[in-house]
Amino acid sequence: MAPGMSLFTVNAIIVLSVDDGSRIFAKYYNQQAPGATAVASPTTNGPYPDVKSQKSFEKGLLEKTAKQTGDIILYDNRIVLYKMESDVMMYVVGDVSENEVLLYNVILALRDSLHLIFKQSVDKRTIIENYDLVSLAIDEIVDDGIILETDPTIIVQRVSKAPAQDVNLGRIDLSEQGVNNLAQLGKAKLADWLRQGL
Residue 33 has pLDDT above 70, yes or no: no
Using CA atoms, how far residue 4 sits from 34, 46, 74, 188, in Å, is: 11, 17, 19, 54
Please state, in angstroms and rounded to a whole number, the distance separating the CA atoms of residues 1 and 21: 39
> 37-46 contacts: CB < 8 A, separation 24 or more?
38/8, 38/144, 38/145, 38/146, 39/144, 40/143, 40/144, 40/145, 46/11, 46/12
- Quick one: average pLDDT of 62-85? 90
Average pLDDT of span 6-10: 81
Residues in the chain: 198
Reported as a pLDDT band with limits 50, 70 and 90, residue 4 is: low
Q: What is the mean pLDDT of residues 34-50?
A: 54
- For 111-131, the pLDDT digits (tens) are 999 999 988 788 999 999 999
Confidence label for 45 from pLDDT (cuts 50, 70 and 90)? very low
pLDDT for 156-187, tens place per residue? 998 876 655 665 666 666 777 778 888 888 88
Using alpha carbons, list the distances in angstroms from residue 9 to 59, 164, 168, 181: 23, 37, 45, 49
pLDDT surpasses 80 at 198: no
Burial track 171-185 (b if 16+ CB lie within 10 A, e otherwise): eeeeeeeeeeeeeee
Amino acid letter for position 165 = Q
pLDDT for res 195: 80
User: CA 35 → CA 7, 29, 97, 99, distances in Å?
Assistant: 12, 16, 21, 22
Domains of the chain plus CATH, in order, are 10-158 (3.30.450.60)
Cα 116 from Cα 129, distance rounded (Å): 16
**In which region does residue 151 sit, left (phi positive, over 0), alpha (psi from -120 to 50) or beta (all else)?**
beta
Maximum CA pair distance of the chain? 67
Give the CA count within 13 Å in the CB-facing half-sphere of 73: 16
107-14-122-63 Cα dihedral, nearest 10 degrees = -100
Angle value at C-alpha 181, between 177 and 182, nearest 5 degrees: 120
